[in-house]
Chain A
Amino acid sequence: MSSTRLPRSLRRTAVATTSAALAAVLLAACGGGGSGSGASAGGPVHIKVWAWYPDFKQVVDQFNKTHKDVQVDWVQAGVGQDEYTKLKTALKAGQGAPDVVMLEFQELPTIQLTKGLLDMGKYGANADKGNYVSWAWNQASDGDHVYAIPVDGGPMAMMYRADLFKKYNLKVPTTWAEFKEEAVKLHKADPNAYLTDFGSDETAAGWRQGLMWQAGSRPYTYSASKLPNIGINLNDAGAKKVYDYWGDLVKNKLVDTTSYATTDFYNGLSTGKYATYIAAGWGPGYLSSVAKKTAGQWRVAPLPQWTAGGNDQGDWGGSSFAVTTQTQHPKEATEVARELFGTSEAAWKIGIDQAYLFPLSSPILNGAYFKQKKYDFFGGQQINSVFVPAANTIGSFDWSPFQDFAYNTDTSEVGKALQGQTDWSAVNDNVQNQVTSYASKQGFKVSK
């Protein structure tokens, strides 16, 4: 308890009145010189990498052991938005960015647009095209321009509690219509239980987008080589179908609406409040870490379909390695991005076993080791026999170069609908209007 603490006002004014610019300058000052990953005469080139994969250290060690001329210096620079904020600031400041950076797919066009990403196509990355599932490669590249190397993906599926399904005599739903029937049945049997939780918060924006992806919604038509044109269609039939459906479940109190990012949600997963968790290929790792005590009870089933017998899939999340334009060693950095995981079985074994990453590298994805791996948490089920076929049938998808704005707008509008301030049927139209107006102001030529 010190009496020398600055008064609240001083501390706040110091940061706040100039928050944007001051922070930019300070961050630049702190990060300055960081990219000086120079090659000392004769020694190996050091490449600085920002990434947040769990157990990534082992992968880095594996890389450094097998490479002589290039060594990786790994920095954990924060997860998701935290890292992007640092990266955007460093790019804006002109210094302080790493050589190689982990980016989620939806963030790639945004960073690419600010001229932050190196075209690895010039350094031979196109040779890897055949090694990846096509929808993933398309998201990371634009024709022969390669802006990132895919690492992991998030094909969606439904995880469910086998014990609860048995207890309440529920049927594993194969269509969304059946899903609603089971939701009614469960909630009737136990008013404290829900078939699932509707991710209404910002961290679940990708989840909602994945469900719309499955429903055939393609909100953007975008290519960096066709600037300033962009197609924005956030209120197409697929998108509307999804919010009409979930809005109906929410209104009838058949699903919960707790934020995905809260302890309440983890708690719900481990106490049986939720009988299913609709998630992605990385979901098993997440689930087994937050709901340890339910080990052995969970199973994985394909994502319910809109039409019986259909096979439509969506993706939620996934990441890649990109090289920033601030790198002094484009060739070596490209090599790192391509080979940290790449098709290396040793690296992928760590990624799969320790970090629950879902590989997008075709030989690994379709290889026997991954497909046949049994998971104790899922009662010994070979869960990838569900995820791998899903991953192979996901359709192509373009992201916008202002995905943060689009996700925030969507979250706000969903929030309004949840609070009863707007009708669910208006959500997509409102998002469409706001995003279109933002894009026009940013200088894009918007078409539908």
Chain B
Amino acid sequence: MSLLRQQGPALAPSSPAPAEPLGVRAVGGKSGRRTSGLSARARHRGMGLLLIAPFTLLFLAFLVAPLAYAFWLSLRTSTLVGGDHFSWFANYKQTFTDPQFLSGVRRVVVFGVVQIPVMLVLALLGALIVDEVTSRLAKVFRMTLFMPYAVPAVIGALMWGFLYSPTFGPVNSLSHALGLGKVDLLSHGLMLTSLGNIVTWQWTGYNMIVLYAALQGLPREVYEAAKLDGAGQIQTALRIKIPMISSALVLTLMFTIIGTLQFFTEPRVLEPTASQVISPDYTPNLYAYNLAFQYSEFNYSAAISFSLGAVVFIGSYFFLFATRKRSGLK
């Protein structure tokens, strides 16, 4: 946990980031002392290129090339018996008129509208509490909330799948004991709620840590000033703390929105147990996966992936633009 605390100041908007400028200054100072200006700079630049070469190679091989290949795939149409031909943007046209893709998008949007605020409010509450309480209890609390994030998403979803089990899952026994009767958490009506619970369980702690780190970076004098002005704890939280960490809030919100649009792991894991409810097109990402690997529609799948990527990209851009004052981006 100590690592995380050290990270705090770096994330905070008001404090200077210590690590990076130091390194730059050291290099800059050295080259400044050199006299043979041009050749030294050229040598310097050569060295720089050499140093970033491994990154560039990996970047090209594992990000740019696959993306280019996927894009090329998405512009072609190959059918099981019709053969393969260049079809320009036909796949994209199909994507945005495909009711299965659109209903998947609609589903994740509905899901996000409910789940994201719930999770972020919980994360913010957790962060404010942990920030306020400075006892050993806070450490335990922080650890416990963060723990689910350390569990791989697949394992988490599997575990919840067991807990939701209608015959011997504890959730159902509980509702039975409370006289609510049998609750099938894997049924059509409750599936989104059940999935939302898994995601919230898994990611609240992660978001809480990000917000907590930002809170830790705030200068303590501001609190004292607020106290002198007669602000209580709740007022301090609402008027001082939350506005001051708004850039961190925007960051977590953005990560969450992107994650939600790409919703995949949890429905994929629960698919075998509830395949009557989680259809192959349940989320856009799941749809793209099934199209490629079950229906051999690689081209269309690539077009859907790219469309989804475009939606995410444009969406995040506008979101950042709209919140540019709060996010600290100019």
Q: Which positions in A face B, CB cutoff 8 Å?
A: 1-3, 5, 7-9, 12-14, 16-26, 81, 85, 88-89, 92, 110, 113-114, 200-203, 227-228, 257-259, 261-264, 267-268, 273, 401-402, 404-405, 408, 411-412, 414-415, 418-419, 421, 438, 441-444
* Closest beta carbon of chain B to A32's beta carbon, Å: 13
- CA separation between A269 and B33, bound complex, in Å? 81
* Closest beta carbon of chain A to B308's beta carbon, Å: 7
Name the B residues within 8 Å of A267 (CB-CB).
167-168
Name the A residues within 8 Å of B312 (CB-CB).
13, 17
Contact, CB under 8 Å: B276 / A113: no
Name the B residues within 8 Å of A200 (CB-CB).
276
Of chain A, the residue at the smallest CB distance from B286 is A19
Contact, CB under 8 Å: A201 / B82: no
Contact, CB under 8 Å: A20 / B206: no
Q: With A3-B3, A415-B279 in contact, is A201–B162 under 8 Å at CB?
A: no
Contact, CB under 8 Å: A227 / B305: no
Most chain B C-beta atoms within 10 Å of own C-beta, residue among A16, A88, A202, A415: A16
Q: Which of A25, A258, A404 contacts B65 (CB 8 A)?
A: A25
Name the A residues within 8 Å of B187 (CB-CB).
419
Of chain A, the residue at the smallest CB distance from B82 is A443
Contact, CB under 8 Å: A25 / B258: no
Q: What are the nearest 4 A-B pairs in CB distance?
A: A443-B82, A415-B276, A21-B70, A17-B309
Q: With A19-B305, A25-B66 in contact, is A404–B79 under 8 Å at CB?
A: no
- Answer whether residue B246 sits at the interface, using C-beta atoms and an 8 A cutoff: no
Interface hits, B1-57 → A, CB 8 Å: 1, 3-4, 7
Contact, CB under 8 Å: B302 / A20: yes
- Answer whether residue B134 sits at the interface, using C-beta atoms and an 8 A cutoff: no
* Closest beta carbon of chain A to B201's beta carbon, Å: 14
Q: With A201-B276, A261-B272 in contact, is A21–B165 under 8 Å at CB?
A: no
Contact, CB under 8 Å: B206 / A8: yes
Of chain A, the residue at the smallest CB distance from B316 is A9
Of chain A, the residue at the smallest CB distance from B161 is A262
- CA separation between A420 and B23, bound complex, in Å? 65
- Answer whether residue B101 sits at the interface, using C-beta atoms and an 8 A cutoff: no
Contact, CB under 8 Å: A21 / B69: yes
Contact, CB under 8 Å: A17 / B275: no
Interface hits, B235-274 → A, CB 8 Å: 254-256, 258-259, 262, 264, 271-274
Name the B residues within 8 Å of A85 (CB-CB).
293-294
* Closest beta carbon of chain B to A196's beta carbon, Å: 16
20 cross-chain CB contacts under 8 A: A18-B306, A19-B289, A19-B301, A20-B291, A20-B302, A24-B298, A25-B66, A113-B80, A114-B296, A201-B274, A201-B276, A257-B276, A261-B275, A262-B272, A264-B167, A268-B167, A408-B279, A419-B188, A419-B276, A442-B80
- Answer whether residue B95 sits at the interface, using C-beta atoms and an 8 A cutoff: no
- CA separation between A21 and B293, bound complex, in Å? 11
* Closest beta carbon of chain B to A94's beta carbon, Å: 13
- Answer whether residue B102 sits at the interface, using C-beta atoms and an 8 A cutoff: no
- Answer whether residue B126 sits at the interface, using C-beta atoms and an 8 A cutoff: no
- Answer whether residue B292 sits at the interface, using C-beta atoms and an 8 A cutoff: yes
Q: With A9-B258, A201-B275, A412-B279 in contact, is A404–B306 under 8 Å at CB?
A: no
Contact, CB under 8 Å: B255 / A22: no
- Answer whether residue B129 sits at the interface, using C-beta atoms and an 8 A cutoff: no
Contact, CB under 8 Å: B264 / A16: yes
Q: Which of A16, A18, A421, A442 contacts B79 (CB 8 A)?
A: A442
Q: Which of A16, A21, A408 contacts B285 (CB 8 A)?
A: A16
Q: Which of A18, A114, A228, A441 contacts B66 (CB 8 A)?
A: A18
Contact, CB under 8 Å: B273 / A405: no
Q: Which of B274, B280, B292 contacts A259 (CB 8 A)?
A: B274
